[in-house]
Amino acid sequence: MNWADIFFDGVLAALGPVGAAYALSAIGLNLQFGYGGLLNFGHVAFMMAGAYGTAITVDLGGSLWLGIIVGIACGGLLGLLLGIPTLRLRADYLAIVTISVGEIMRLVARSSFVEPLTGGVFGIQAFANEFFDLNPFSPGARYGWGQFVFQGRALFVSLVGWALVGIGLLITWKLIRSPWGRVVRAVREDEDAARSLGKNVFFYKLQALMLGGAFGALAGALLAIEQQNVNPNSFEPKVTFFLYVIVIVGGAGTIIGPVVGALTFQFLLFFFDSFMSSAQQQGWFNWAGFDATDAAQVKLVLVGVGLMALMAFRPQGLFGSREEMLIGDR
């Protein structure tokens, strides 16, 4: 058991491109769930819209930058399409429709009749060369100190990703302090009160859903660019659950929450994963008959249990404030 390796596995995962993409996606979910009180159980669908929007645009001959814009627009559009039938109804209906869409979009992208567009199960590859042409680091070289090392390629994606997260935080901060943000929070706290003041509650919810969806789509595009690959299997429902844990751990309805949550979650997830993997190799779980796959899946069980425990005992997250997060008391 090499604790240093395990520790750095966690640190590098937290600061790496996936950590940044999760933080960016969580900013979107935080707008929807944390500030708007909207139960979007299919956030992965928005990420998928962004990733596929980007890749398909490039595949059809557009530039990558146009692709990213199309991807973000797809995320917003998906929010519009999901919001219209559900946002006038009780909170559960949005949850029901989004969880269904998260699963169905993956099935449709895999199916043979859209294969000319999406590449079916094989997906689309190598569409982000324009992005990597801008890489100032040499892709294969290693940057860092000791075990804290990034390859040039990953370092570039991470820096861009965290820069986008910074911009996202700035936008959130501006929005939430604006009159728009106050109305959205008022709608979360008491819909009828907001309505009695003449606010069109439905439109505010729809805007929050679309805006959050656009952030999710940008995160999806970032992940797709990092991989140079979009594939339906990357967008499993579990990503949505990861994002919920991230948002709640960091403190739903706080500006910085998604970043704190993403760093904490990615670190813990990969620290634990690395620990379980070496423990399994050393035969700690032979009594239970665990193979490497089983050992890796234990972390998913903990994600589920963690989500329940957080929501039941500490809905404001590790660092959030109770006053902002009254969701548990409604």
Partner 1 sequence: MIAIVAFFSFPLAAHAEGETIKGTLEKIDGDVREPVAGVTVTVESDGAEIGSAVSDAEGNWEVPVPGPGSYLVRLEVDTLPEGVALTDPERSELPNLTVRDNQQKTARFNLGPGLVTGNVSTLERILERFVIGLKLGAIIAMASIGLSLVFGVTGLVNFSHGELVTMGAVIAYFFHLSPLGPGWPLIVAAIPAILATAAFGWLNETALWRPLRRRRAGLISMLVISIGLSFAIRNVINIMFGGEPRTYADFAVQQPITFLGVRTVPKNLVIIGLSVAVLIGVGLFLQRTKTGIAMRAVADNRDLAESSGIDAERVILITWVVGAGLAGLGGVLEGASETVQWDMGFKLLLLIFAAVVLGGLGTAFGAMVGAFVVGVVIEMSTLWIDPNVKNAVALAVLVVMLLVRPQGLLGTKERIG
**Binding to partner 1 (CB under 8 A): which residues in 131-190?**
147, 149, 151, 154
Q: Which stretch binds partner 1 (CB under 8 A): 56-64, 174-182, 201-209, 219-227?
A: 219-227
Name which position in 60, 121, 167, 193 contacts partner 1 (CB under 8 A): 121
What is the DSSP annotation of 66-118?
A: HHHHHHHHHHHHHHHHHHHHHTTS-HHHHHHHHHHHHHHHHHHHHSGGGHHHH
Residue among 27 and 38 whose Cβ is closer to partner 1: 38
Of 244, 253, 261, the C-alpha closest to 318 is 261
# residues contacting partner 1 (CB under 8 A): 81
C-beta of 199 vs 278, nearer to partner 1: 278
Residue in 183, 246, 290, 320 binding partner 1, rule: CB under 8 A: 290
CA atoms lying within 13 Å on the CB side of residue 322: 3
d(CA 315, CA 205): 22
Is the Cβ–Cβ distance between 257 and 31 less than 8 Å? no
Candidates 108, 141, 163, 193: give the one binding partner 1 (CB under 8 A): 108
Q: Kindly state whether residue 311 participates in binding partner 1, applying the rule CB under 8 A.
A: yes
Amino acid, res. 60? L
Query: Which one among 69, 120, 180, 202 touches partner 1, defined by CB under 8 A?
Result: 120
CB of 16 vs partner 1, minimal distance in Å: 5
- Residue 328 near partner 1 by CB under 8 A: yes
Nearer to partner 1, 286 or 330 (CB): 330
* Residue found by looking up tokens 């009159």 in the block: 179
* Residues in 229-248 at the binding interface with partner 1, rule: CB under 8 A: 229, 231, 233-234, 236-239, 241, 244, 248
137 secondary structure, DSSP code:
S
Task: Give the Cα separation of 34 and 91 in Å (integer).
Answer: 14
The residue count for the chain = 330
**59 touches partner 1 (CB under 8 A):** no
Minimum CB distance to partner 1 smaller for 142 or for 174: 142
